[in-house]
Amino acid sequence: MRVRFAPSPTGQLHVGNARTALFNWLLARGSGGVFILRIEDTNAERSTRESEVAIERDLRWLGLDWDEGPDIGGPRGPYRQSERLHLYQSYATELLNTDAAYYCFCSAADLEAAREAAVASGRPARYGGACRRLSREQAQARIAAGERPAIRFRVPAVGDVVFTDVVRGDVRFPIDVIGDPIIVRADGHPAYNFAVVVDDALMEVTHVVRGEDHISNTPRQVLLYEALGFSPPMFAHLALVMGPDHGPLSKRHGATSVAEFRSKGYLPESLVNYLALIGWSPRGPGRSRSVEDDAELWPIDELAKRFALDDVSHSAGVFDEEKLAWVNRHYLKIADPTRIAELSVPHFGAAGVRMAPDGRGLAFLAGALPMATSSVDRIDQIPTRLAFLFDADTTHALLDPGVRSEMNDEGARAVVVALAEELTTAPRLDRQGFRAVANQVKARTGRKGKALFHPIRVALTGRREGPELDLAVPAIDAGADLPGEAGIPKILGCRERAALFARALEQPW
């Protein structure tokens, strides 16, 4: 099996296209086949190298590696259409020689006028065939006189085009609705339908798996395969990825590109797993449903083992970011904390906590992460959950009306004072150390439960809410002991925090 993903480098990789790439990759990897990346950059105005680079980076980020492609080459290259113009030219010449194609001199203005006239009189707006009957001599004479013609494919006169689509079954198109398509434009660039056929044939692609938006192109492609003497591949057209309102997923639904989801703090394994489940369900007819299937969360290699085109649905799949977030929560919890720590660094930066952690710094962050990953959907939400580590501004805390009313209570203030005193002599706190100090404060103030722990939380974190103190307190004190080279912004220890807060309470506030 040889499959390909053939993006046009005209922008960011859309998640719908990423799913197409993924399904091709899963097929190749699940069957020991070859996955080809082909860049369809024949639209010189819209294609950019930046977009190609971005698409390749996003595919790699998702874990979709290719066996043949523009960067690594391969036996059927080149893999960039702009480098294959000679091939399209030579196959077009072959079609001209057998009269399966002809030169067309119609200008854009002629074509537009003919189209308008056809529409006005209720005729189909396909090419009227003005140049169809030009003799070869007439055409050569006009070329010799300096005209630059396009080349059109001569669509055979009778019959229907029929092809079998793995997802949609037999598809039949009446041939007479198909006007003669341009295969090579006047500027020498091939039209999509022509380039794709030449490339898929020469690259020996066995299965063309792509979006349903190309189904109406397929009859022209099938005719071109026949005219060129190639046998068509198997086709599988995937239903499009829709937004929650069942319209095609677009900007108005929010993020649509892989790059946007990455920068929002989704993990690649989450996006891959979620995209795999849009329009594909591993429980096709005849498959048994196991408990494991219910979870529907598998690593990419496992997805590849299970993937089968037969189980791909022909109805549109909805992209629901809530569900993606659910998948991401799962992967955040099971991911290696050091990896998540590394990934969270730019998000801390964006939140104003700039850091360049070394191994120790990362180990510290990784140790603090469970406090965040138990309750966030995305990596970009981690800095807010851990902000208490980095800002210990008690003056600021005392501006909070909730904190103020809590501190209006004399008993609460007594807890803060006792805490500050206990901590003057205590070593940095681990979980046991914190329990011991809390017990001392309890004994000294006679307060317990919320009345004890609320003021402690406010004094040590500057906040009325947050992660369990059993986790937060040891994290603060682990941070306080980090040397500057660890690359983590200065973290004030519990001792210092309690002293500052107790002092602030002594001033007017």
Report the interface residues with ligand GLU, using CB under 6 A: 6-8, 40, 196, 210, 214
Which tokens go with 506? 């002594």
**Which residue shows structure tokens 């909070």?**
400
Give the residue among 437, 421, 498, 443 at the shortest CA–CA distance from 470.
Answer: 437
Of 251, 305, 333, 490, the catalytic one is 251
Query: From CA 92, how far away is CA 120, in angstroms rounded?
Result: 33
Q: Cβ closer to ligand GLU: 22 or 494?
A: 22
Cβ distance to ligand GLU smaller for residue 235 or 388: 235
Residues contacting 356, CB < 8 A, separation 6+:
345, 487
Nearer to ligand GLU by Cβ, of 213 and 292: the residue is 213
Determine contact, residues 442/411, Cβ cutoff 8 Å.
Answer: no
Any catalytic annotation for residue 333? no
Alpha helices (runs of H) in 296-400, residue ranges in sequence order = 300-306, 321-334, 337-350, 359-368, 370-373, 382-390, 394-397
Q: State the DSSP H helix or E strand holding residue 434, giving kind and residue range, or none if neither.
A: helix 431-445
Quote the least distance from Cβ 64 to ligand GLU, whole Å. Answer: 15
Smaller CB separation from ligand GLU, 210 or 457: 210
CB-wise, 237 or 457, nearer to ligand GLU?
237
| Number of neighbouring beta carbons within 10 Å of residue 503 | 12
Nearest C-alpha neighbor of 227 from the set 100, 89, 132: 100
What does each C-alpha distance from 330 to 57, 168, 344, 443 come to in angstroms? 24, 34, 17, 42
112 token code pair: 């537009």
Pick 6 or 267: Cβ nearer ligand GLU: 6
Nearest to 230 by CA among 252, 253, 267, 203: 203
CA–CA gap between residue 293 and residue 304 (Å, rounded): 14
User: What does the alpha-carbon distance between residue 228 and residue 199 come to, in Å, rounded to a whole number?
Assistant: 12
- Report in angstroms how near the CB of residue 195 gets to ligand GLU at its nearest: 9
The vertex-23 CA angle with 19 and 25, nearest 5°, equals 110
CA distances from 152 to 114, 186, 215 (A): 16, 10, 21
Full DSSP string of 128-180: --TTTT--HHHHHHHHHTT---EEEE---SSSEEEEEETTTEEEEEEGGG---
Count CA atoms within 13 Å of residue 394 on its CB side.
Answer: 23
Closest separation in Å from C-beta 164 to ligand GLU: 17
Q: Which is nearer to ligand GLU, 223 or 482 (CB)?
A: 223
Amino acid at 181: P
CB of 200 to ligand GLU, least distance (A): 8
Residue 214 Cβ vs ligand GLU, minimum distance, rounded to whole Å: 5
> Which C-beta is closer to ligand GLU: that of 195 or that of 494?
195
Query: What is the nearest approach in angstroms of ligand GLU to the Cβ of residue 254?
Result: 22
Residue 210 Cβ vs ligand GLU, minimum distance, rounded to whole Å: 4
Q: Which is nearer to ligand GLU, 182 or 196 (CB)?
A: 196
| Smallest distance, ligand GLU to C-beta of residue 391, A | 47
Task: Give min distance, CB of 181 to ligand GLU, in A.
Answer: 15
Round to whole Å and give the CA distance between 416 and 450: 13
- Give me the amino acid identity at 283: R
Q: How far apart, in whole angstroms, are the C-alpha atoms of residue 105 and residue 112?
A: 13
> Which of the residues are catalytic?
251
